[in-house]
């Protein structure tokens, strides 16, 4: 047990527990008939929400490292991103198979008719290359292009938030209906994206340095022997 905790950090353990337990709970609820009156819709919604949550968490790693200097977050981005992709894939498979029974012409018709689904499809298609190239071997192979490719996340995250908000019934301007939750996700995404702008990054880094200096000054200084 001791060696387990030496090998994995608490953050790593927490991420994997979230990643798998959400899926296990979903399967338990599905097989015990513990979903809503519309189980397929419930599955679609829950997998979609896990996907966007994990995507937002992966997006949070870089700005939070810049702000708090918590370097481990950078190492955990990949796991969070891959879990987001896993849930997005299950979400899409549920849509294609359970919801539409692989009726491709109906699927295409729905995609064309509902703009929020077009946005979902676009974001999923962009997630695919990111997931497959997230491993070190691809980082080496693609060189500078790897970073360029992975910057797609700045486009994908707002698109997913749009997909979420657009699919909901509600009044955007009066903040009524089911629009609040998607708006919270969208606001968090916007904050994290702003925190990545070079000027903002610089300002945050200098604020962090000032806080560190302030704390060091407050720490009791060791007494120096006069002799």
Contacting residues toward ligand HEM, per CB under 6 A? 41, 44-45, 48-49, 51-52, 55, 84, 88, 91-92, 95, 117, 120-121, 123-124, 127, 160, 163-164, 167
d(CA 166, CA 180): 12
Q: Which is nearer to ligand HEM, 66 or 79 (CB)?
A: 79
d(CA 207, CA 198): 14
Strands 176-177 and 170-171: antiparallel
Q: Which is nearer to ligand HEM, 153 or 195 (CB)?
A: 153
Question: Coil, helix or strand for 197?
Answer: coil
Q: Which is nearer to ligand HEM, 67 or 110 (CB)?
A: 110
CB of 74 to ligand HEM, least distance (A): 21
Q: Which is nearer to ligand HEM, 66 or 123 (CB)?
A: 123
CB of 84 to ligand HEM, least distance (A): 6
CB of 203 to ligand HEM, least distance (A): 30
> Do residues 61 and 76 lie in contact, with contact meaning Cβ atoms separated by under 8 Å?
yes
CB of 46 to ligand HEM, least distance (A): 7
> Do residues 59 and 78 lie in contact, with contact meaning Cβ atoms separated by under 8 Å?
no
d(CA 134, CA 169): 35
């Amino acid at each position: 047990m001791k060696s387990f905790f030496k090998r994995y950090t608490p953050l790593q353990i927490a991420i994997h527990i979230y990643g798998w337990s959400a899926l296990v709970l979903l399967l338990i609820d599905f097989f015990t008939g513990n979903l809503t009156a519309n189980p397929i819709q419930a599955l679609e919604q829950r997998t979609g929400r896990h996907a966007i949550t994990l995507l937002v968490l992966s997006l949070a790693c870089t700005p939070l490292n810049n702000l708090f200097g918590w370097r481990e977050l950078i190492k955990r981005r990949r796991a969070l991103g891959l879990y987001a992709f896993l849930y997005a894939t299950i979400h899409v498979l549920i849509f294609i198979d359970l919801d539409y029974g692989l009726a491709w012409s109906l699927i295409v018709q729905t995609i064309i008719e509902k703009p929020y689904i077009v946005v979902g499809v676009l974001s999923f298609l962009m997630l695919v290359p990111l997931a497959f190239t997230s491993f070190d071997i691809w980082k080496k192979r693609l060189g500078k292009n790897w970073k360029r490719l992975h910057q797609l996340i700045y486009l994908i995250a707002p698109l997913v938030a749009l997909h979420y908000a657009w699919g909901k019934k509600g009044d955007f301007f009066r903040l009524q209906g089911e629009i609040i939750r998607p708006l919270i996700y969208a606001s968090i995404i916007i904050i994290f994206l702003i925190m990545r702008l070079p000027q903002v990054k610089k300002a945050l880094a200098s604020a962090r340095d000032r806080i560190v200096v302030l704390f060091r000054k407050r720490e009791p200084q060791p007494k120096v022997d006069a002799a």
